[in-house]
Structure formats: structure tokens, C-alpha cells
């Protein structure tokens, strides 16, 4: 999104009840179940959700105590927590089948450490991290507001608040912001499509959602009334996996930066942290956020690349998008490699990733979330490298 003039930019988000997010939630629930039992477990779980049916597939390596029955019970609990007890998709009645099998020995031999060989990356790939001063969470503003809208609706729905009355779990949002001199100044359009109970009037829904949007956007940022779109098709009663099949990993732009930054292509949910698709993307965000938080730049994009079975990153690329404060990008790339061990094992240890912390990441974005010190989660959002980065550049 390199443009410092006047322009419009749009990002979308989806709720935890979106079919693809139901699949992400179940895949990360499976992952957490294994990591609870064994921090060194290997998991690559894909989930398909459709009308009253859930299918688990993929490969795992972990203790026998993680049984198929346990995973099915956890999946039902996840569906219940999201809020699905509808005729076409119910946590009680859905048929859940597992086709998870043992991890391929060919993959294991490349990843596992042995003798003098360090732990290798779980696959080849490129991963990106990004940070920008557009919001206090150092995230792109259109995505931040699109996600916050849906989080508010979830909170109101689950709390029984009048602002959530009649709402059901499946929802999508889309926010378009106007930028002037490269900075967001207001919304030009907002779209919200939310599943609702039969009989809820569109006028009542629109009035309620307008109030929520005004709560979320900064004062004076509300879009014109004729650019505020609520359930544009007019009705949204049948939703969730009953309305559309869901698959793990289909919302990678929603999960990251809303299109404001590059994406390497790999999905996150259901993958243990030896998979650099996930862990290196977390590390890249962590580094980019610390660069911006340290005041070295207003925007930062970082790319890391890996090869399966190889422990060190093959490349580290830094782009400050013209916002660097007298910072040499090549020196910054070298510095980042010095302040953090970017091998798969180094990333997992630094960010403490071998723990059951992933269910929370499965909806409303993996980035821009506030770490909870008690839970020690979202460690990649911490800014504890700021002093080291400032010191390296004499700031």
C-alpha cells in the first residue's frame, strides 16, 4: 500500500462464526489439545465444516492420550462456544469424523534435530511481517476497524446486550477509509453482513449496527448514510457452515494485514510452531512492530525465507517504505538477525510458542492483539526489542 497521496483503501474481516473461521477454530483447538499433552507435538490439521458435518484431516505426532474421542469433544465445545445450535449446524447434532494420521517420516527426518544437526524448518516458504503507525496497535487502520466492529458484535451477542439482540454468529465487515497525505482521515463506506434471527427487521438491525459503528470509528469518521450497507441482499438467516462450507486457512488476508502488506501465501491455523508458515510469520510481525515502536520508521515490512530441513533463514529483507529515520535497511536486516535467533527453534523459544495458546488466534486476526501478561499469549505483539534496536542505531 505504498501511496503517500490521497486515496481510498479497503479491508474486510469475518467473525468467529464465519464457516472458514469455524474451521480455523477447530483446527487450532486440535493443535492446543496436542500441545497441552506434549509441547513438542507435531500437528498439521485441516478442517472441513458443512451442514451438520465436520471432518478433520491431516497429520499428527503426539501422545496416545490425545484420542479421537477427546478431539471430537473439544471440537463440539468449540462449536458451542461460537454459538451454533441451529437446525443446520448444531454442536450437539453435528457428525464429527477424524481422518488424522501419523506424521510423514520423510517430513520428520528433515525437521527433527539429531546429533550436530539443528532443527530444520517444517517446509520451504516466504513469510512477511508488517507494522505501521496508523493505529495504536501498529496495524493498518481499515483492518483494525473492520475487526473491532465484529469483536464488538460478538461481545454484545454473547453478553445478551440489546445491541446484540437477534444476532447470530456468522458475520462479515468491510471498511473503506480515505487517506490524505498518506494518513487515514475518515470512512467513505462501511459494509456489515450479519446473520440474524428470522423476523428481525432490517430497519432495527441497521439502526443498531449504526450505533456500533459510531462507537468503533473515531469521532467524525462515520461514512455517509447512503454508503452504510447492512445485509445488502436484504436477509441473512441461514448462515455458518449450513449456508456455506468452511475450510481451514482460507482467510489469510483477514488473518494478517487486510491487504495492506504482502503475504507469503501460507495459512496459520492448525499448524504447530515448527511450521515456519506460522512461527516465522509471527517472528516477522514481532520484528516489524519493534522497528516501528522503536521510532526507527513509521512503516516496516520484513520478509523471511526458509527451506525445509534447513535451520537458518535463507534471506532477511527489510523495507521501511521511505519512512526510515536515517536508518540503513541493510544494516537493520543484519541487526534483526543479531537480536533474535531466527531459526525455527530460536523463534519458538524466544516467543514461547510451544504452548496451547492458539485457539484465541483463530478469529479477529493474529496480529494487533493485546498480549495478556497472565496468559502470556500473543508474545509476538510485545515490544521488548525496542531498547536493543535503539542502541544499535545510537538512538
Domain ranges of the chain: 7-14+141-238, 19-111, 125-133+250-392
For domain 19-111, the question of CATH label 3.30.300.10 is answered with yes
> Is the confidence at residue 106, as pLDDT, over 90?
no
| Catalytic site includes residue 387 | no
Cα 250 from Cα 24, distance rounded (Å)? 9
Q: What are phi and psi of 119, to 5 degrees?
A: -60, 130
Predicted local confidence at residue 365, as pLDDT? 97
In this structure, are residues 142 and 189 in contact, taking their beta carbons and an 8 Å threshold? no
Cα 206 from Cα 362, distance rounded (Å)? 28
pLDDT tens for residues 294-341? 999 999 999 999 998 888 999 999 999 999 999 999 999 999 999 999
| Residue in the block written with cell 501422545 | 63
Tell me, what DSSP letter sits at residue 41?
Answer: -
- Look at residue 55 and give its three-state secondary structure: strand
Predicted local confidence at residue 309, as pLDDT? 85
The mean pLDDT value for 347-368 works out to 97
Side-by-side strand order, sheet with 228-230: 7-14, 167-180, 183-196, 228-230
| Catalytic site includes residue 251 | yes
Q: Which three cell numbers mark 266?
A: 501460507
Cα 393 from Cα 122, distance rounded (Å)? 34
| Catalytic site includes residue 21 | yes
Which entry of 9, 12, 16, 21 is annotated as an active-site residue? Answer: 21
Q: Which three cell numbers mark 37?
A: 499433552
DSSP 337-357: HHHS--SHHHHHHHHT-SSS-
> Is the confidence at residue 10, as pLDDT, over 90?
yes
Cα 266 from Cα 394, distance rounded (Å)? 36
In this structure, are residues 255 and 366 in contact, taking their beta carbons and an 8 Å threshold? yes
In this structure, are residues 15 and 242 in contact, taking their beta carbons and an 8 Å threshold? no
Predicted local confidence at residue 311, as pLDDT? 87
| Catalytic site includes residue 244 | yes
Which entry of 36, 37, 57, 59 is annotated as an active-site residue? Answer: 59
Predicted local confidence at residue 233, as pLDDT? 87
For domain 7-14+141-238, the question of CATH label 3.20.20.70 is answered with no
pLDDT tens for residues 371-392? 988 899 999 999 999 999 999 9
Residue 182: partners with Cβ closer than 8 Å, 6 or more residues away: 3, 4, 5
Q: With bands split at pLDDT 50, 70 and 90, how would you rate the model's confidence at 116?
A: very low
Neighbours of 13 (CB within 10 A): 29
| Residue in the block written with cell 496480529 | 367
Predicted local confidence at residue 108, as pLDDT? 55
Neighbours of 214 (CB within 10 A): 11
pLDDT tens for residues 235-273? 899 999 999 999 999 999 999 999 999 999 999 999 999
Residue 234: partners with Cβ closer than 8 Å, 6 or more residues away: 202
| Catalytic site includes residue 46 | yes
Cα 303 from Cα 333, distance rounded (Å)? 10
CA angle 261, 262, 264 (to 5 degrees): 145
> Is the confidence at residue 78, as pLDDT, over 90?
yes
| Catalytic site includes residue 172 | yes
Going from the C-alpha of 151 to that of each of 13, 170, 174, 326, 375, the distances in angstroms are: 10, 12, 13, 38, 20
> Is the confidence at residue 114, as pLDDT, over 80?
no
| Catalytic site includes residue 93 | no
Which entry of 38, 81, 118, 244 is annotated as an active-site residue? Answer: 244
Burial class (CB within 10 angstroms; exposed 0-12, middle 13-18, buried 19+) of 132: buried
Q: Which three cell numbers mark 280?
A: 516465522
125-133+250-392: CATH architecture: 2-Layer Sandwich (3.30)
Neighbours of 234 (CB within 10 A): 7
Which entry of 25, 74, 196, 251 is annotated as an active-site residue? Answer: 251
pTM metric for this prediction: 0.95
Residue 160: partners with Cβ closer than 8 Å, 6 or more residues away: none
In this structure, are residues 1 and 8 in contact, taking their beta carbons and an 8 Å threshold? no
- The helix-helix angle for 276-293 and 329-339 (nearest 10°) equals 120
Same fold for the pair 7-14+141-238 and 19-111: yes
> Is the confidence at residue 118, as pLDDT, over 80?
no
| Catalytic site includes residue 393 | no
Predicted local confidence at residue 40, as pLDDT? 94
| Catalytic site includes residue 59 | yes
Which entry of 12, 20, 272, 381 is annotated as an active-site residue? Answer: 20
Going from the C-alpha of 256 to that of each of 81, 214, 343, the distances in angstroms are: 24, 24, 22
Residue 238: partners with Cβ closer than 8 Å, 6 or more residues away: 88, 195
| Catalytic site includes residue 325 | no
pLDDT tens for residues 132-189? 999 999 999 999 999 999 999 999 999 999 999 999 999 999 999 999 999 999 999 9
Task: Look over the chain and give the mean of its residue pLDDT values, rounded to a whole number.
Answer: 94
> Is the confidence at residue 109, as pLDDT, over 50?
yes
The mean pLDDT value for 350-367 works out to 98
In this structure, are residues 47 and 56 in contact, taking their beta carbons and an 8 Å threshold? yes
Which entry of 172, 278, 289, 350 is annotated as an active-site residue? Answer: 172
| Catalytic site includes residue 158 | no
Residue 337: partners with Cβ closer than 8 Å, 6 or more residues away: 313, 316
Neighbours of 119 (CB within 10 A): 18
Q: Which three cell numbers mark 281?
A: 510469520
Amino acid at each position: 500500500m505504498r501511496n503517500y497521496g490521497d486515496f481510498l483503501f479497503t479491508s474486510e474481516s469475518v467473525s468467529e462464526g464465519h464457516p472458514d473461521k469455524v474451521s480455523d477454530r477447530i483446527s487450532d483447538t486440535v493443535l492446543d489439545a496436542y500441545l497441552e499433552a506434549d509441547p513438542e507435538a507435531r500437528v498439521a490439521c485441516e478442517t472441513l465444516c458443512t451442514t451438520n458435518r465436520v471432518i478433520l484431516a491431516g497429520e499428527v505426532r503426539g501422545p496416545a492420550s490425545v484420542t479421537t474421542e477427546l478431539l471430537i469433544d473439544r471440537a463440539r465445545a468449540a462449536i458451542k462456544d461460537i454459538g451454533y445450535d441451529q437446525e443446520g449446524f448444531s454442536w450437539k447434532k453435528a457428525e464429527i469424523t477424524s481422518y488424522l494420521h501419523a506424521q510423514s517420516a520423510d517430513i520428520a527426518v528433515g525437521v527433527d534435530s539429531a546429533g550436530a544437526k539443528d532443527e530444520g524448518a517444517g517446509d520451504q516458504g516466504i513469510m512477511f511481517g508488517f507494522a505501521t503507525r496508523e493505529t495504536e496497535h501498529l496495524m493498518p487502520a481499515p483492518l483494525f476497524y473492520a475487526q473491532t466492529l465484529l469483536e464488538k458484535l460478538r461481545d454484545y451477542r454473547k453478553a445478551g446486550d440489546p445491541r446484540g439482540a437477534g444476532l447470530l454468529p456468522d458475520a462479515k465487515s468491510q471498511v473503506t477509509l480515505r487517506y490524505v497525505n498518506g494518513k487515514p482521515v475518515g470512512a467513505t463506506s462501511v459494509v456489515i453482513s450479519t446473520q440474524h434471527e428470522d423476523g428481525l427487521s432490517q430497519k432495527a438491525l441497521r439502526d443498531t449496527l449504526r450505533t456500533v459503528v459510531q462507537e468503533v470509528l473515531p469521532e467524525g469518521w462515520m461514512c455517509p448514510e447512503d454508503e452504510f450497507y447492512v445485509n445488502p441482499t436484504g436477509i441473512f438467516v441461514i448462515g455458518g457452515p449450513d449456508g456455506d462450507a468452511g475450510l481451514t486457512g482460507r482467510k489469510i488476508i483477514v488473518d494478517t494485514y487486510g491487504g495492506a502488506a504482502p503475504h507469503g501465501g501460507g495459512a496459520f491455523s492448525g499448524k504447530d510452531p515448527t511450521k515456519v508458515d506460522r512461527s516465522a510469520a509471527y517472528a516477522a510481525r514481532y520484528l516489524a512492530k519493534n522497528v516501528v515502536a522503536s521510532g526507527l520508521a513509521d512503516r516496516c515490512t520484513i520478509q523471511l525465507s526458509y527451506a525445509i530441513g534447513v535451520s537458518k533463514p535463507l534471506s532477511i529483507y527489510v523495507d521501511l517504505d521511505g519512512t526510515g529515520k536515517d536508518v540503513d535497511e541493510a544494516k537493520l536486516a543484519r541487526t534483526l538477525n543479531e537480536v533474535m535467533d531466527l531459526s525455527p527453534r530460536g523463534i519458538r523459544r524466544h516467543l514461547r510458542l510451544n504452548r496451547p495458546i492458539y485457539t484465541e488466534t483463530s478469529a479477529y486476526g493474529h496480529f494487533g492483539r493485546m498480549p495478556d501478561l497472565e496468559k502470556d499469549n500473543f508474545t509476538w505483539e510485545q515490544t521488548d526489542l525496542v531498547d536493543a534496536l535503539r542502541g544499535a542505531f545510537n538512538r
